[in-house]
């Protein structure tokens, strides 16, 4: 069954409403002493080393750190797109050794839409690869596009969409198979500030409605504080976890919170860890 099981109260985040589909697993994701090296013997790079953390189902977790600390590489290993050189990663208690779109959806920094396909066809594409019946995949894609606010743009091609709209299509494509976990690698980095703020609010709305676990890599410290329940802070390469911060701002979040002392304290705590 594809998309989309909504929570009963989309504005309530305490306690979190967790999907029955992942209620059995204690953790949505477990990272156990994970390490990644790549390159040749003469020029080997340790991307990250001995990284361990757990993520409870239904949480919004941001990963931040200095450039080159292995954030994006870590996300690729969480998705099963790159094998670890040490340790292990579990999703809902099962090892992640290869991509599994039924368990994990991925949204990249670039929308990477097929220009010759409509928005509807781009969202349908993962289901078409799985040989899902045409009527079923069409229905699921329409639901996903409606969820991201693009119900009226299914017949538009990528060149007819703004940057923010393209990313919405990309998010819909990541959601269409209804995975319990959604990984996002700096998905708003290429957008202007106004669109980025709007997309952040849209993402929180989608997250509240679907109760998915989201792991969100970003360079934006304010973005991390505004969006997340928890923030994992990584050191410079080789990346290690140097702090884990509970973001105890109330939900639903508002932009006015960005000027509060608590918001600034949380952002400064992250910055202090990164710069040192």
The crossing angle, in degrees rounded to 10, of helices 163-175 and 193-210 is 20
pLDDT of 239: 95
Of residues 57, 78, 2, 34, the one with CA closest to residue 229? 57
The span from the CA of 172 to the CA of 162, in Å, is 15
pLDDT of 8: 38
**Residue 172 predicted with pLDDT over 50:** yes
| Domains, the chain, ordered by start | 21-103+179-275 (3.40.50.300), 111-178 (no CATH)
The region of weakest confidence among 23-32, 123-132, 178-187, 232-241 is: 23-32
pLDDT of 168: 96
**Residue 24 predicted with pLDDT over 70:** no
Structure-model confidence comparison of residues 17 and 141, the more confident one: 141
**Residue 22 predicted with pLDDT over 80:** no
Q: How confident is the model at residue 2 (pLDDT cuts 50, 70, 90)?
A: low
**Residue 11 predicted with pLDDT over 70:** no
**113-138: average pLDDT:** 95
- Percent of the chain at pLDDT > 90 equals 84
Provide the mean pLDDT of the chain. Answer: 90
pLDDT of 6: 42
Over residues 178-220, the pLDDT tens digits come to 999 999 999 999 899 999 999 999 999 999 999 999 999 999 9
pLDDT of 125: 95
Q: How confident is the model at residue 42 (pLDDT cuts 50, 70, 90)?
A: confident
pTM: 0.89
Over residues 62-110, the pLDDT tens digits come to 999 999 899 999 999 999 999 999 999 999 999 998 999 999 999 999 9
State how beta strands 29-39 and 181-185 pair: unpaired
């Amino acid at each position: 069954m594809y998309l989309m099981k909504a929570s009963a109260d989309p504005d309530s985040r305490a306690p979190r409403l967790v999907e029955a589909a992942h209620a059995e697993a204690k953790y949505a994701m477990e990272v156990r002493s994970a390490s990644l090296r790549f390159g040749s013997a003469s020029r080997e790079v340790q991307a990250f080393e001995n990284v361990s953390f757990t993520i409870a189902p239904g949480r919004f977790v941001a990963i931040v750190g200095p450039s080159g600390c292995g954030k994006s590489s870590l996300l690729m290993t969480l998705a099963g797109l790159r094998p670890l050189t040490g340790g292990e990663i579990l999703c809902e208690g099962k090892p992640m050794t290869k991509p599994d779109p039924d368990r994990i959806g991925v949204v990249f920094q670039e929308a990477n839409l097929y220009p010759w396909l409509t928005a509807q066809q781009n969202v349908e594409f993962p289901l078409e690869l799985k040989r899902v019946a045409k009527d079923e995949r069409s229905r699921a894609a329409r639901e996903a596009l409606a969820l991201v606010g693009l119900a009226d743009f299914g017949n538009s091609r990528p060149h007819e969409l703004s940057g923010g709209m393209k990313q919405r299509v990309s998010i819909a494509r990541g959601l269409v198979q209804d995975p319990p976990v959604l990984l996002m690698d700096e998905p708003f980095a290429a957008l202007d500030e106004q669109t980025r703020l709007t997309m952040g609010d849209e993402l929180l709305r989608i997250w509240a409605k679907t109760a998915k676990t989201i792991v969100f890599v970003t360079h934006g410290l304010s973005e991390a504080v505004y969006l997340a329940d928890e923030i994992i802070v990584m050191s410079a390469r080789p990346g290690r976890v140097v702090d884990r911060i509970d973001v105890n701002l109330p939900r639903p979040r508002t932009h006015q919170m960005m000027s509060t002392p608590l918001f600034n304290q949380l952002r400064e705590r992250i910055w202090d860890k990164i710069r040192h």
